[in-house]
């Protein structure tokens, strides 16, 4: 059982605004592959051939098929104990918002009510040419890339390298990090900006900053508390201690 410092439980219980920033490690225990560790997606595939708009315009069918294969995996995954713990944390703390880099939709599937998706959501699509939205689930199993009524190609609603993050989502995330009393970074290698910069914003604005990750990251030096263990073990324990504190 990971040891949770009492300072974290105290800070959470007193906080008015809590931001939990999640990355691929959050969903690892659900069976969704991460990107950079051994066996991760970017150790087997080249992002420049699959996750940028030039690659899509050069070879749309190949990019579409790769995202369909990721959908096959993700749509068969369920939220894990860490996702569930964040849902259970909502009534135990004030003002909890999840800011995620994950595109798997597992926080919402678990039941979290306030989730900011910085990198989009693989369960949705839009037209590369006119922007028309295509959220129909039937597209998620199409092997041939579908076309829009305007003649454009339909692509997954995920942020590719070189693209801007959704403006309102990023602005709200930054504002919350400025206000946060507690900022918890879970399962991110902390190397992809602007998402990684949110931890620094929270730190600069004096949030109590926590990292949950079995490995050290560039964000670790900024953490008041770094818990070196898996999200699925740590977060349920934090919830248990918060409940104990509320009851006592």
Residues that bind ligand OAD (CB under 6 A): 23-25, 28-29, 34-37, 40, 51, 101, 119, 159, 186-189, 192, 212-215, 217, 230-232
Tokens 């509320």, residue? 246
Q: State the Cα–Cα distance between residues 122 and 135, nearest whole angstrom.
A: 10
Q: Least distance to ligand OAD from the beta carbon of 219, Å? A: 9
Tokens 């900006």, residue? 193
Active-site residue, 206 included: no
Alpha helices in 90-214, H assignment, sequence order: 106-110, 167-179, 197-204
Q: Least distance to ligand OAD from the beta carbon of 26, Å? A: 7
Q: Which residue is nearest to ligand OAD (CB)?
A: 25
Identify which of residues 34 and 97 has a Cβ nearer to ligand OAD in the complex: 34
DSSP structural state of residue 187: S
Q: Least distance to ligand OAD from the beta carbon of 16, Å? A: 26
Identify which of residues 119 and 150 has a Cβ nearer to ligand OAD in the complex: 119
Which residues touch 57 (CB under 8 Å, ≥6 apart)? 128
Q: State the Cα–Cα distance between residues 177 and 170, nearest whole angstrom.
A: 10
Identify which of residues 136 and 215 has a Cβ nearer to ligand OAD in the complex: 215
Of the candidates 58, 40, 41, the residue with the CA atom closest to the CA atom of residue 49: 58
Identify which of residues 154 and 184 has a Cβ nearer to ligand OAD in the complex: 184
Catalytic-labelled residue, pool 119, 203, 205, 206:
119
Q: Least distance to ligand OAD from the beta carbon of 12, Å? A: 18
Which residues touch 10 (CB under 8 Å, ≥6 apart)? none
The catalytic site residues sit at 119
């Amino acid at each position: 059982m990971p040891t949770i410092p009492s300072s974290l439980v105290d800070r959470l219980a007193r906080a008015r605004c809590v931001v939990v920033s999640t990355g691929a490690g959050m969903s690892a225990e659900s069976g969704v592959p991460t990107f950079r560790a051994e066996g991760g997606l970017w150790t087997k595939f080249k992002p420049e051939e699959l996750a940028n708009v030039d690659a899509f315009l050069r070879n749309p069918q190949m990019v579409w098929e790769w995202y369909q294969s990721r959908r096959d995996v993700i749509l068969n995954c369920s939220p894990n104990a860490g996702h569930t713990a964040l849902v259970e944390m909502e009534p135990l703390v004030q003002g909890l918002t999840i800011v995620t880099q994950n595109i798997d939709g597992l926080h919402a599937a678990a039941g979290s009510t306030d989730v900011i998706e910085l990198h989009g959501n693989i369960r949705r699509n839009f037209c590369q040419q006119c922007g028309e939205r295509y959220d129909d689930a039937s597209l998620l199993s199409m092997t041939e890339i579908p076309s829009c009524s305007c003649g454009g190609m339909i692509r997954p609603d995920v942020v590719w390298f070189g693209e801007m993050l959704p403006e309102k989502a990023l602005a709200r995330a930054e504002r919350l990090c400025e206000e946060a009393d507690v900022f918890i970074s879970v399962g991110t290698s902390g190397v992809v900006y602007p998402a990684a910069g949110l931890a620094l914003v929270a730190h600069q604005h004096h949030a109590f900053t926590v990292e949950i990750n079995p490995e050290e990251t560039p964000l670790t030096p900024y953490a008041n508390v770094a818990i070196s263990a898996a999200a699925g073990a740590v977060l349920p324990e934090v919830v248990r201690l918060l409940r104990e504190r509320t009851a006592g």
